Amino acid sequence: MTESTDRVEKVLDLLRESGGRATTSRRILLRCLFDEGPHRTAEELAEVVQRVAPDVHLSTIYRNLDELERLGVVVHAHLGHGPATYHLASETHGHLVCEVCGGTLEAPEAFFSELTDAAAREYHFVIDPRHFAVLGRCAVCAG
């Protein structure tokens, strides 16, 4: 069993434990999430899933992503003005997005620690830096 297959099976076990089913569409979607890389929109994931299972509708992808997010397997992030993107929750990081070229940099969650600490201390507010992007300009566009 490959590492990716093993990870898919673990998530399917988690789904079963919570009362869900291990459907074909969920299995294919999970494989895409593990193999295709981070920051995929639901539409991009649907394209990949539909290459294997053309009858899987976009609404099914959204429902599955919602369930996976509820279980803590994936998180979605808003990277600027486009649609939400999804990535594995185990790959925690924040995002820096260039407003000019749209380039995205992944910053470790620790990068945001001063901000999250200050928000908690001064405003009693808990920030989830995985969910949003800090907009600005990359080195090329700023220069």
pLDDT digits (tens, 9 = 90+) for 9-33: 888 888 888 888 888 888 899 988 8
| CATH number corresponding to 3-88 | 1.10.10.10
More confident residue, 119 or 73: 119
DSSP 86-116: EEETTS-EEEEEETTT--EEEEEGGGGHHHH
The answer to whether domain 3-88 and domain 93-142 are alike in fold is no
Q: Which residue has the tokens 């899987």?
A: 56
pTM over 0.85: no
> Domain ranges in the chain?
3-88, 93-142
Query: Span 93-142: which CATH code?
Result: 3.30.1490.190
Give the range among 4-13, 38-47, 56-65 with minimum mean pLDDT: 4-13
